Structure 1
Amino acid sequence: MAKRPVTFDAEALRSFVNGIELGSFVLAADRLGRSTSAVSAQLKKLEQQAGTELVQKSGRHLILTERGEIMLSYARRILTLNDEASAIMLASTLRGSINLGMQEDFGEALLPALLGTFTRAHPQVQVSASITRNQQLLDGIRHNEFDLAVCWQADDAPLFPSSQSLGRIPLRWIGPENFDLKHYQESGEPVPLLVFEAPCLMRNAATTALDKAGIPWRIAFTSRSLSGIWAAMSAGLGVTVRTDFGRPQTVRILNELPEPGEVGISLHQGQTPPGEAAGYLIQAINDFFAARR
């Protein structure tokens, strides 16, 4: 008789995933509204079900074992399907519309992962998504043209009273596969930059990093759209500073150039208090970025 497969406890999987993603099972307990001892017990239960250790101590921290890495990948997929099924089965009769604005960088990752699940759970809510630049998004929030907007957050820019930080992520130098910094160092030629029209956070980060390192640069190409930047890069016209969001597979991260720093991500809300549907979308956006920090 064939051995029955183990049915992993979904709540134990959730505690495990949150503990790893937050880097602390104490923080995971706080997020999940449980005691630290309860989360620890769930981790032990999951290890018993898996028949192996999933985490091990490294100094004061816990790190994944080899089997733990495999379990984390499956746990995320199991929970994604579980939560999607739960949302659809418990789909409310919410109605209305939400105007969502976002940076072009988030389009490929955020729209399919977030809006697909949300609209299946709340089919009577119409979500209109607009992709544009940071300044236009902020202006839209000020004039109540957007209900929600996901934006880059400058270090010196205050949040609106009803807005919140979604965390910070590293900036990257990105360029064509054949980019050779040594050529520019030896020839004295300025590094060619592909940038948005000013004002632009990424543009400032790129020029500041090069100036501090004493590396000459020139603006080789300006664009009003991110797709224009990627097209110019594919043509070998230069390099740029962006994040990992939306980076095409045909270009590479350039570790040869000086560290450009980090950028914050913020979720801004319009002046009209969000309704119940927008509240669900706000939570979904928070979960999306929390899982990627």
Structure 2
Amino acid sequence: MDIESLKSFLAFVETGSFTRAAKQINRTQSAFSAQMRKLEQELNVSLFEKEGRNLVLSEAGLALRSHAEKLVGIHNQAIHQVKRYQDKHPFRLGCPEDYNDKILPLVIQTIQQAKPTCSIQVFSEPSVKLREWLDEGKLDAAIVTRAPDSEEGYWLASDQGVWVTSKKHAIKLHSNNQKETLPIALYQTDCKYHAAAIDGLTKRGTEYQLLACCNTSSALRAIIKQGLAVGAMGAISTCEELEVLTDMPPLPAVDIVLLTGANGHPLLDKSCIEQLTQNSETKKPTR
């Protein structure tokens, strides 16, 4: 088993998709598929199997995963020790603006403790854009939102969607907690809270005006704080000037995770990942 085949195999483990895995390692999907077939032929086992419409790891694939992670980890550690100048390469970290205040500092603190001389470049973009940049090799890691039932990435925190209004300029709701036409401000349509908010209001029969769609939490908070609209966002993104509304349509919970690039970066080695995971596990809720 050559190390590149194992890295490609772990790219599938990380993404759960031949298409995204191929993008991360800068190969065509056909070349990636051929590499996986060759690995299966070398081991004389099937590493993947169909589960509904999805492709998942077989029992043999699950067994290979732990060994592949160890072998690639040892390989990366060897590269790290021999080529220490790589530590001076900037670590490119993506993080949605929503998590800049409460999640980003914890991740950077862990990395800084592991390597005090690290150099980190932070890019604030929505999760969808950060995934694209990660696939294109523009980032070394990204803090993103995932669905609670997904196992993608390394768990950092959970967030619950909430409806909020301004404490100083609260929009007056009727006794049934509905305005005749309720002005709302939301994130862009690719946000899970956006679709859930619209769906919830529609099912409740609430008339609403979608005043604004924002791609940053600061813009969304500014509109809500001025009393121009009520909004839907994660509880992590709220601030002291905002008040959480009750008796509104339910919003989903999401997980916040760290995704890493297929090629890895010397700063984000096995020990650093383990430290991030340990710090997160102490805060992980019981489901």
TM-score past 0.5 threshold: yes
Q: Which residue of 2 aligns with 1:182?
A: 174
Shift of 1:233: 0.8
Q: Which residue of 1 aligns with 2:247?
A: 256
The DSSP-based 3-state class of the residue aligned with 2:223 is: helix
Matches within 5 A, 1:218-233: 218-233=209-224
Shift of 1:110: 2.3
Q: Which residue of 1 aligns with 2:95?
A: 102
The DSSP-based 3-state class of the residue aligned with 1:236 is: coil
Matches within 5 A, 1:25-104: 95-96=87-88, 97-104=90-97
Say if 1:164 and 1:268, in contact at 8 Å, map to a contact too.
yes
Q: Which residue of 2 aligns with 1:145?
A: 138
Shift of 1:168: 4.0
Shift in CA distance, 102/279, structure 1 to aligned 2, threshold 3 Å: farther
Shift in CA distance, 205/291, structure 1 to aligned 2, threshold 3 Å: farther
Rounded to whole Å, the distance in 1 between the matches of 2:120 and 2:178 is 52
Shift in CA distance, 229/149, structure 1 to aligned 2, threshold 3 Å: same
Say if 1:205 and 1:261, in contact at 8 Å, map to a contact too.
yes
Say if 1:114 and 1:285, in contact at 8 Å, map to a contact too.
yes
Rounded to whole Å, the distance in 1 between the matches of 2:196 and 2:258 is 21
Shift of 1:262: 1.3
**1:119 partner letter:** Q
Q: Which residue of 2 aligns with 1:63?
A: none
Shift of 1:261: 2.2
Shift in CA distance, 202/285, structure 1 to aligned 2, threshold 3 Å: farther
Rounded to whole Å, the distance in 1 between the matches of 2:132 and 2:94 is 11
Q: Which residue of 2 aligns with 1:199?
A: 190
Rounded to whole Å, the distance in 1 between the matches of 2:204 and 2:279 is 35
Aligned residues: 198
Shift of 1:232: 0.6
User: Which 5+ residue runs of structure 2 have no aligned equivalent?
Assistant: 1-80
The alignment status of 1:171 with 2:164, answered yes or no, reads no
Rounded to whole Å, the distance in 2 between the matches of 1:232 and 1:168 is 25
Shift in CA distance, 184/219, structure 1 to aligned 2, threshold 3 Å: farther
Say if 1:114 and 1:284, in contact at 8 Å, map to a contact too.
no
Shift in CA distance, 274/116, structure 1 to aligned 2, threshold 3 Å: closer
Matches within 5 A, 1:244-283: 244-275=235-266, 277-283=268-274
- Which stretch of the first structure deviates more once superposed, 144-153 or 268-277? 268-277
Shift in CA distance, 216/288, structure 1 to aligned 2, threshold 3 Å: farther
TM score, norm. by length of structure 2: 0.60
Shift in CA distance, 188/251, structure 1 to aligned 2, threshold 3 Å: same
Q: Which residue of 2 aligns with 1:79?
A: none
Which structure would you say has the larger RCO, counting Cα contacts within 8 Å and 6 or more residues apart? Answer: 2
RMSD: 2.9
